[in-house]
Structures are given as structure tokens and as C-alpha cells.
Amino acid sequence: MIQANVPWVESPFFEEELEKKNLSAEQKKLVQDYHNDGYVVISGLVPESLIDRTREDVETKAFNPDFEIKTHRDHSRIQDFWMVSDASKELAIFPKILDMLELLYGREPVPFQTLNFRVGSQQRAHSDTIHFSSLPARFMCGVWVALEDITEENGPVFYHPGSHRLPEYDFTQIKETAHDTSYDDYKDYEDFIEKIVQVNNFPKRKFLAKKGDVLIWSSNIIHGGSPVTKEGSTRYSQVTHYFFKDCYYYTPMLSNMVTKELYLRTSLVNIKTGEKVEQTYNGKKLNYISTGNNLFILNDRLKPVPKSLKFLGKVF
């Protein structure tokens, strides 16, 4: 039987794959929804006590200037709070969430980053693939947990069902100067994605969640944060980003996607184990060479890498 080298839930042969699995009616509905829409919402998965403990930690520590924290934070969000908060870490590795992700992707999830929000991000539409991509593709997802009720007014996450089926856009499809882009060009990416949403006429949904509700979204679904319309309102939440085992992990935004010089995320830490994440291509370690700037060219066909090429870097 022909199989595709993508997560089974995003496979073009999804129906066939589904038939091979022995799933309950409830699991079947969940994976079908995820396949069709690119996201699912689940209530009652996480105990209220864990939600409340996480929220309390975020309120009393993450945004308390007296609480010293090494990880990056600004007025609206803090990155990798799991490193200093047991509750945040427990939520990121909550077994029922990990089980759900394993069901959807058929591989062990690797939680690698948390973001905790105090207020709405008001972030423009984007796909997470531009920041977090994998080889093979699409082995990444986001899990967003409401730590309080989310309303129309406090900047709910929005998303466009079906947009996960689009190509994974990077600058090669967007700009003639794709060989020479950086984060300074991010606005051009956002303008492009907004127009893509318009011309495809995707529906728009908002995650108007009850405290404790969980939203799982696939790497390529277009999403963002709605405007905050009630001044001063909070939007306590935690999002954890997951890769899946046995991939290479890279950031297209920092890569040269024309010459395929990939910016590999070589220092990822698995939140569950605290260990550095091993990178392989479906379990196989590939040769790659460094061009000196933390950029890597996957280069498995040349074995061993000729010395001269190591210095040429960009030539092939």
C-alpha cells in the first residue's frame, strides 16, 4: 500500500489510514475533525485544579516584576515559563494531552516551548510552520489552554478552518528576493497570508472558550489573536508548541529556503524529559554541514562530505 511521508492525519490517503486503525467512535470523530478542519476543541480534559494552579503561578510570578525570571517576558507574554513553574510544566506534559497528540500524529509528541499570555496577543494571521517546521513536514502542532473564560472582548484566538491544507508558505512563494530575507521582512509574510485568506474565502472562527478548554491546531492552519476590545481585560492562557519524534526541526524564517540552507533548531529541549532533543529523519541520522552561521545544509548524498565543500558552503 502506498503511504505518504506526512502525519497520517494529514495524509492524502487519510481514509485508508483510518480504516487500518482500531479507534473508538469518539476518537474517530476527533481525528476526522482534525483532518478536515485542521483543529479540534476539547473540554474537560484538564482538571480545574491544574488550570487554577497554572493561572495563579502566571499571575503571581510570571508578570510580577519582583519575581526574577531568566526567560524572555514582556507585558503580554512570557516564554518558557515551564522552566520555573511546576504547574506550567505539568500542563505542557499533561498525559491526556500527550495521548491525544500521539493519537493524531502517530508519533511521540515532543513539547519544546511554552508561552503564557496575560493579555491578548493581537497577533496577525500566520501559520506556525514559518517559525517551526519539520523534515518530514508537518510534524508540529500547538495546544492552547484557556486559563480563564475567553470572550469576544479579551482577544480570542481566531483561526481559518481548512487553511491547513494550503502549501506551507515561506518567502520562496512570496518574494523575488527570497534568497535574502530576514525577520525584518516578516510584515510582508503577514500581508501575504492575509491576502491568501481573502482570496480563498476561508471561514473564520474564534476560540470563545470556557476556562479549561483546550484547542489543538495543526502546524499549517492560519491563526492569530483578535483585537482586545475591552480595555484592561486579561486573557490568561498557556500555549505549548510540540514537535514529534524522529524529525529534523528548523525555522524557515531564519533559513535560506532558496538554497535550502536550513536553520536547524539544534538546542531544543524536551520539556518532558529535560533532555536535548535528538534529531533524525524518520529515525535516520543524516550528514549535514555547517556554513558557520548556525545554518546547516542537509547533505546526506555526499558521504563523507568532501573537505573543500565544507568551506564553500553555499555552492550546492
Ligand X SMILES: O=C(O)CCC(=O)C(=O)O
Residue 271 touches which of Fe ion, ligand X, none (CB < 5 to 8 A by kind)? none
Nearest residue (CB) to ligand X, 242 versus 248 = 242
Closer by beta carbon to Fe ion, 100 or else 115: 115
Q: Which of these ranges, 7-15, 117-125, 161-169, 276-284, lies near ligand X under the rule CB under 6 A? A: 117-125
Which one of 140, 166, 221, 239 is in contact with ligand X (CB under 6 A)?
A: 239
Closest to ligand X by CB, 154 vs 255, is 154
Amino acid at position 93, single letter: I
Give the residue, chosen from 85, 114, 116, 121, that forms a contact with ligand X under the rule CB under 6 A: 121
Does residue 58 bind ligand X (CB under 6 A)? no
Question: Which residue in the set 10, 17, 80, 128 belongs to the binding site for ligand X (CB under 6 A)?
Answer: 128
CA 175 to CA 101: how far, in whole Å?
34
Q: Which of the choices ligand X, Fe ion, none does residue 121 contact, using the CB cut-off of 5 to 8 A by kind?
A: ligand X
d(CA 281, CA 188): 31
Cβ at position 159, least distance to Fe ion in Å: 9
Q: Does 128 bind Fe ion (CB under 5 A)?
A: yes
Considering only 160, 223, 245, 265, the residue that binds ligand X (CB under 6 A) is 223
Cβ distance to Fe ion smaller for residue 61 or 77 = 77
Which amino acid, residue 275? Answer: E
CA pair distance 51, 90, nearest whole angstrom: 10
- What three-state secondary structure class fits 114? strand
Determine if 225 is a binding residue for ligand X (CB under 6 A).
yes
CB of 128 or CB of 213, closer to Fe ion:
128
Q: How far is the CB of 53 from ligand X (least distance, A)?
A: 20
169 binds Fe ion (CB under 5 A): no
Residues that contact ligand X, how many (by CB under 6 A):
10
Lay out the site mask for ligand X across 248-277 (x = CB under 6 A, - = otherwise).
Answer: ------------------------------
Cα radius of gyration (the chain): 20
Residue 117 interacts with, from Fe ion, ligand X, none (CB under 5-8 Å by kind): ligand X
**Stretch in the footprint of ligand X (CB under 6 A) among 25-33, 37-45, 115-123, 175-183:** 115-123
Q: Fill in the per-residue mask, 150 to 179: x = in contact with ligand X (CB under 6 A), - = not in contact.
A: -------x----------------------
Q: What are the E-state strand segments in 81-181?
A: 109-117, 133-135, 140-146, 157-159
Give the residues lining the site for ligand X (CB under 6 A). Answer: 115, 117, 121, 123, 128, 142, 157, 223, 225, 239
